[in-house]
């Protein structure tokens, strides 16, 4: 049975002295990349059709989530003065077009995030004649500009352009949850972006997100940044996260402001604070959603258009992406930059590096330089980045230039790459919904001790095989592949996604049945129909670059585990192997084909 699982993502937990860590479902996947799926002028076209028609390109960019503009009927063209919440026809398109756009993304393994504007609301014809849902004066905070307000006093900052919503009121709470559950979820939304989050207590944001089971939650807390007191600014971000009880992350406006100054004035020293990143990512990276510009801060279709309230210099946008796509936090790509500024290919290269190298919201940062004209850092000891006009490159051997442009460059550590060869393993195993296949393997410890003079342990990984995954497109298995650097016997590696039982494989078939719905392929979705699969349904595939120098004359062992039921497969007795074992033996640099619990084996060249 096939199941297309949705990524349970979050904006999860690192450390700050001011923060109590919260263990939520949203902390499981730290490999997300968000695309802001609109700009300030998007409402001028049939925007939902644009998103639907670009679904392939969106998926190709490597993003996991797309943030949509506000979808409810509104008094403003852009949707930020909501009027009738339950009416989902807007200037961006009809409810039907919205549903089709979200469905097109879902078919590519990409989740939709709703822009939830609930701090304020306008009346249908007057100040506060709210309809659909209908509210009375009790729904407006007591300190609102409207003299007829009779609700509880505001729990956050005021908003003069519309009526401030009284979130203390039980009817307001119930109607918002109903709207989220029966309208937004019904058209396919799975995540939440909260607009103007400083306008009401974050408790309510956390409550609404929990009530509807969102798989992504981020708030917009945009306050003045006083550059002589950066810590106070990022503390406000921490306070918001804590206020939601860890349910929601927050846009890292501190990092945004520091990038602005660094790029405007070559003041790259602003990006470091006591050896750590100076923005929110330096305190609680897993809860930070980073960005270069958005519909408010930056231009739209071209430099000089749109709102531009707090923009990065137009000619230095790619420096910003080189920073956020290599650093901790969940990075956001801005639609205008990728699709209107012709930066798609350059941004994609950086996004691919992030995914291929397994960088995540909790990656470690070792800052090498932070001075006038230069910022340089090494992330997770395997990716190096520099931005700024001054020259710099990482020291030591093995570094290979992976991306470069005007005043930015990214390197990956290529030591041993000459020894790595593409290796594919297929293992037949029928599974039910909720079950996934994992593989463990390497060299037998006793054989290594008796014949190779190696004393193998989990710490030294001498019997493990260095790998890097070629397929990071399956949203279900992507978090398990992040920081999975070895095929080994030991289970979950440090930094792997929760629930991993080893190295994750992906379900494949040689022919997708029309009865299963829209065709899924490994090339696009990370699972489904695969040209290398000439064998049939239920062949789970591991596709990785493997260090063949660590094998026994090209051979290595493996055994499979199926989660949530079947568990470990039975021992086998495969013929023609380099030594006796109850495990399968595969060949590095080739296609190896097995069936769970059976001794047969096939080997093919690519």
Task: Using the predicted structure, report yes or no on whether residue 479 has a pLDDT greater than 70.
Answer: yes
* 338 within 8 A of 332, measured Cβ to Cβ: no
Residue 29 is predicted with a pLDDT of 53
Q: Measure the CA–CA gap between 593 and 580, rounded to whole angstroms.
A: 19
pLDDT at 497: 82
Residues 108-140 have pLDDT tens digits of 999 999 999 999 999 999 999 999 999 999 999
- Please state the three-class secondary structure of 400-425 as a single string: EEEEEECCEEEEEECCCHHHEEEEEE
Q: Check residue 454 and give its pLDDT.
A: 84
CA distance 423 to 548: 9
For the segment 387-412, the average pLDDT, to the nearest whole number, is 88
Distance, in Å, from the CA atom of 601 to the CA atom of 606, rounded to the nearest integer, reads 16
> What pLDDT is attached to residue 13?
30
Q: State which H helix or E strand residue 255 sits in.
A: helix 253-265
**Residues facing residue 370 across a β-bridge:** 375
DSSP 241: H
Q: Does residue 55 have a cis bond before it (omega within 30 degrees)?
A: no
Q: What pLDDT score was predicted for residue 405?
A: 87
Averaged pLDDT, 494-511: 91
Rg over alpha carbons for the chain, rounded to the nearest Å, is 25
Which residue carries 């006083």 as its tokens? 226
The position carrying tokens 């408790």 is 203
Residue reference for tokens 């940062």: 365
Task: Give the residue among 304, 293, 296 at the shortest CA–CA distance from 256.
Answer: 293
- The closest alpha carbon to 372, from 279, 281, 272, belongs to 272
Q: What gap in Å lies between CA 98 and CA 81, rounded to an integer?
A: 19
Residue 394: CA count within 13 A, CB half-sphere: 24
Structure tokens at 393: 């490159």
Q: Is pLDDT at 5 greater than 50 in this prediction?
A: no
Q: What percent of the chain has pLDDT over 90?
A: 84
Kindly state the tokens that stand for 460. 């030294």
Number of residues written out for the chain: 606
- Span 481-509, average pLDDT: 90
Chain-centre distance for alpha carbon 127: 40
Nearest alpha carbon to residue 158 among 140, 184, 134: 140
pLDDT at 252: 98
Write out pLDDT tens, residues 255-311: 999 999 999 999 999 999 999 999 999 999 999 999 999 999 999 999 999 999 999
Q: Is the pLDDT of residue 106 over 70?
A: yes
Beta-carbon contacts of 450 under 8 Å, excluding residues fewer than 6 positions away, are none
Q: Which residues contact 604 (CB under 8 A, 6 or more apart)?
A: 590, 591, 593
Angle 85-86-90 from CA coordinates, rounded to 5° = 75
Q: 190 pLDDT exceeds 50?
A: yes
Angle in degrees, CA 297, 300, 305, rounded to 5: 95
- CB–CB of 506/5 below 8 Å? no
In this predicted structure, what is the pLDDT of residue 417? 45
Q: How far, CA to CA in Å, does 594 sit from each of 310, 428, 467, 540? A: 57, 6, 20, 10
Instruction: Locate 241 and state its tokens.
Output: 């996260």
Both tokens assigned to 135: 């509210």
For residue 350, give every residue at least 6 positions away whose Cβ sits within 8 Å of its Cβ, in sequence order, or none.
321, 322, 325, 326, 403, 410
| H-helix or E-strand spanning residue 235 | helix 230-243
Q: What are phi and psi of 76, to 5 degrees?
A: -110, 150
Number of H helices, E strands in the chain: 14, 30
Predicted TM-score (pTM) of the model is 0.68
CA angle at residue 461 from 459 to 463, to 5 degrees?
Answer: 135
Just list the catalytic residues.
195, 220
Q: Which residues pair with 540 in a beta bridge?
A: 427, 507
Alpha-carbon distance 243 to 23, whole Å? 14
Among 63, 151, 59, 55, CA closest to 104: 55
Would you list the domain boundaries of the chain? 418-604
Which of 85-89, 138-142, 261-265, 431-435 bottoms out in mean pLDDT, i.e. has the lowest? 431-435
Q: How far apart are CA 47 and CA 93, in angstroms?
A: 6
| Alpha-helical runs (H) found in 333-437 | 335, 344-356
Identify the H or E element spanning 185: none
Which H or E element spans position 474?
A: none
E strands present in 267-327: 272-273, 276-277, 288-291
The pair of structure tokens assigned to 95 is 């409810």
């Amino acid at each position: 049975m096939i199941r297309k699982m949705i990524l349970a993502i979050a904006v999860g937990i690192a450390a700050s002295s001011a923060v109590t860590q919260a263990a939520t479902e949203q902390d499981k996947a730290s490999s997300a990349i968000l695309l802001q799926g609109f700009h300030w002028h998007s409402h001028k076209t049939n925007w939902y059709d644009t998103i639907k028609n670009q679904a392939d390109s969106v998926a190709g960019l490597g993003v996991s989530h797309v943030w949509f503009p506000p979808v409810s009927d509104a008094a403003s063209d852009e949707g930020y003065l909501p009027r009738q919440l339950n009416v989902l026809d807007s200037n961006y398109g009809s409810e039907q077009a919205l549903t089709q756009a979200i469905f097109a993304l879902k078919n590519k393994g990409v989740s939709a995030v709703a822009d939830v504007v609930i701090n304020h609301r306008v009346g249908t014809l007057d100040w506060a004649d709210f309809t659909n849902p209908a509210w009375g004066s009790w729904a407006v905070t007591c300190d609102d500009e409207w003299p007829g307000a009779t609700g509880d006093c505001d729990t956050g900052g005021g908003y003069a352009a519309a009526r401030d919503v009284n979130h203390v009121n039980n009817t307001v709470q119930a109607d918002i949850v109903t709207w989220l559950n029966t309208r937004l979820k019904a058209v396919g939304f799975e995540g939440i972006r909260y607009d103007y989050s400083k306008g009401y207590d974050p408790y309510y944001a956390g409550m609404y997100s929990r009530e509807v089971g969102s798989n992504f939650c981020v708030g917009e807390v945009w306050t003045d940044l006083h550059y002589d007191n950066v810590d106070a600014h990022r503390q406000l971000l921490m306070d918001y996260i804590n206020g939601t009880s860890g349910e929601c992350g927050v846009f890292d406006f501190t990092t945004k402001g520091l990038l602005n100054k660094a790029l405007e004035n070559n003041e790259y020293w602003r990006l470091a604070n006591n050896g750590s990143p100076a923005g929110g990512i330096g305190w609680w990276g897993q809860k930070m959603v980073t960005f270069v510009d958005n519909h408010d801060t930056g231009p739209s279709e071209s430099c000089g258009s749109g709102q531009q309230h707090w923009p990065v210099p137009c000619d230095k946008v790619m420096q910003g992406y080189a920073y956020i796509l290599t650093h901790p936090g969940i990075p956001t790509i801005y639609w205008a930059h990728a699709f209107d500024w012709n930066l798609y290919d350059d941004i994609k290269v950086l996004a691919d590096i992030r995914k291929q190298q397994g960088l995540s919201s909790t990656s470690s940062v070792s800052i090498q330089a932070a001075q006038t004209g230069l910022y340089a850092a090494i992330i997770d000891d395997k990716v190096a980045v520099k931005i700024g006009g001054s020259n710099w490159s990482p020291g030591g051997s093995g570094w290979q230039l992976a991306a470069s442009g005007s005043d930015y460059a990214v390197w990956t550590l290529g030591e041993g790459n000459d020894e790595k060869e593409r290796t594919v393993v297929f293992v037949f195993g029928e599974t039910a919904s909720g079950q996934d296949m994992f593989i463990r393997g390497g060299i037998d410890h006793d054989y290594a001790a008796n014949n190779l003079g190696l004393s193998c342990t989990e710490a030294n990984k001498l019997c493990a095989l260095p790998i890097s995954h070629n397929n990071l497109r399956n949203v279900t298995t992507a978090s398990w592949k992040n920081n999975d650097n070895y095929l080994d016997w030991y289970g979950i590696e440090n930094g792997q996604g929760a629930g991993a039982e080893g190295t994750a494989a992906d379900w494949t078939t040689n022919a997708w049945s029309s009865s299963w719905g829209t065709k899924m392929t490994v090339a696009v979705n990370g699972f489904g129909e695969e040209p290398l699969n000439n064998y049939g349904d239920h062949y789970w595939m591991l596709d990785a670059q493997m260090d063949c120098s660590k094998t026994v004359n090209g051979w290595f062992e493996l055994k499979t585990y199926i989660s949530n039921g079947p568990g470990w497969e039975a021992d086998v007795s495969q013929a023609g192997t380099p030594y006796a074992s109850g495990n399968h033996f595969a060949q590095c640099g080739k296609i190896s084909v097995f069936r769970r619990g059976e001794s047969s084996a096939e080997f093919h060249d690519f």
